[in-house]
Amino acid sequence: MNWKKFIFVWAIGLLFFVAIVSGQDGSANGRAAEQNLDAKYPGLRDQVEELTKATISGDYLKVVDLTYPKVVAMVGGRDKMTSHLANEHRQDKESGFELQAIDVGGPLQIEKVGSQLFAVLPIKLTAKTPDGVGSNDNWLVGISDDAGNHWTFIRGVEQKRFNLMFPGAAAKIRIPN
């Protein structure tokens, strides 16, 4: 498996290890903004941390539960996605790839569209590979149907696919290139 395929598989959401949750820019304004965000949408940070613990412990059922339901359905359902995650992880390890961390930054954008909230968060994947350690920047889209109390996530979705999945949000949400 080459590096690009590895990043693609992980970024699309076939396996998601979040080892470090950050998002503070180090400045007083950045910390204050992050605290305000956490106070306004505590579920966003909570669910990312929940996803971290589930992934590290190998609780793929929880990882699937925190994945946006349409993505789970596209993969073939909860059981199939859970099995796929475990198999991909095993194959990656056998090939010498091991995700060490994903740093999750503070939201680039949070928008309410109809009854849903969307949050676009930058992520940085760092992995051990047969050739050393590599990293790749990507993003995570959080979707909440209950004013930010509960979030599910889509990783690495491109703008075109996002627009097809969420036509009502297409004009407001900008996915990084």
Q: What is the pLDDT of residues 66-106, one digit of tens each?
A: 999 999 999 999 999 999 999 988 998 899 988 777 777 88
Considering the domain boundaries, does residue 171 fall inside one?
A: no
Q: Is 131 exposed, middle or buried (0-12, 13-18, 19+ CB in 10 A)?
A: exposed
> Given 3-state DSSP classes, what are the helix, strand and coil percentages for the chain, each rounded to the nearest 5?
45, 25, 30
Residue type present at position 100: Q
Considering the domain boundaries, does residue 146 fall inside one?
A: yes
Considering the domain boundaries, does residue 138 fall inside one?
A: yes
Considering the domain boundaries, does residue 34 fall inside one?
A: yes
Instruction: Say whether 115 sits in a helix, a strand or coil.
Output: coil
- CATH code where residue 122 lies: 3.10.450.100
Q: How far is CA 158 from CA 37, 77, 106, 144, 163, in A?
A: 25, 22, 19, 19, 9
- At 21-48, the pLDDT tens digits run 233 333 344 444 455 566 778 789 889 8
Considering the domain boundaries, does residue 130 fall inside one?
A: yes
Considering the domain boundaries, does residue 173 fall inside one?
A: no
Q: Which domain holds residue 71?
A: 3-165
Mean pLDDT estimate for the chain: 79
Instruction: Say whether 2 sits in a helix, a strand or coil.
Output: coil
Q: Which of 149, 159, 91, 97 is nearest to 126 (CA)?
A: 97
* pTM, full prediction: 0.77
Give the separation between CA 13 and CA 10, rounded to whole angstroms: 5
Tokens of 151: 């979030």
Considering the domain boundaries, does residue 177 fall inside one?
A: no
Give the separation between CA 139 and CA 153, rounded to whole angstroms: 10
Give the separation between CA 67 and CA 57, rounded to whole angstroms: 17
How many domains, the chain?
A: 1
